């Protein structure tokens, strides 16, 4: 696995984790992947192509292969290794 990224941490609801009167920092690798999967393209001004658009595909039919391709492309665009992430991501489809 790549060197763990250190950044501020979010809890399960997306709020900042506060410790000892300050913002908690730690390994944010998995958190970054989750945020990328939740993002839609166009939401990030500095990188408008970043995001999996999964919210827009919620009620659509998509195959597991197509879903995996979308996530893999975005993860690799972000400089992360798909091989490192693949085992820790559960992709559910309705197609």
Q: Is 26 helix (H, G, I), strand (E, B) or coil?
A: strand
Measured CA to CA, the distance from residue 3 to residue 73 in angstroms comes to 20
Q: CB of 71 within 8 A of CB of 89? A: yes
pLDDT (tens digit, 9 = 90+) per residue, 7-54? 899 998 989 999 999 999 998 888 888 889 889 999 989 999 999 998
Shortest CA distance to 25 belongs to which of 5, 6, 44? Answer: 6
Helix H or strand E segment including 6? strand 6-8
pLDDT (tens digit, 9 = 90+) per residue, 42-81? 998 999 999 999 888 777 788 888 888 999 999 999 998 8
């Amino acid at each position: 696995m790549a060197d763990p990224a250190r950044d501020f941490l979010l809890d399960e609801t997306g709020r900042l984790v506060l410790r000892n009167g300050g913002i908690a920092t730690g390994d944010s690798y998995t958190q970054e992947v989750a945020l990328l999967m939740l993002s839609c393209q166009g939401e990030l001004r500095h990188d408008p192509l970043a995001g999996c658009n999964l919210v827009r595909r919620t009620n659509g039919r998509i195959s597991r292969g197509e879903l995996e391709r979308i996530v893999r492309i975005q993860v690799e665009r972000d400089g992360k290794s798909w091989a490192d992430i693949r085992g820790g991501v559960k992709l559910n489809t309705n197609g």
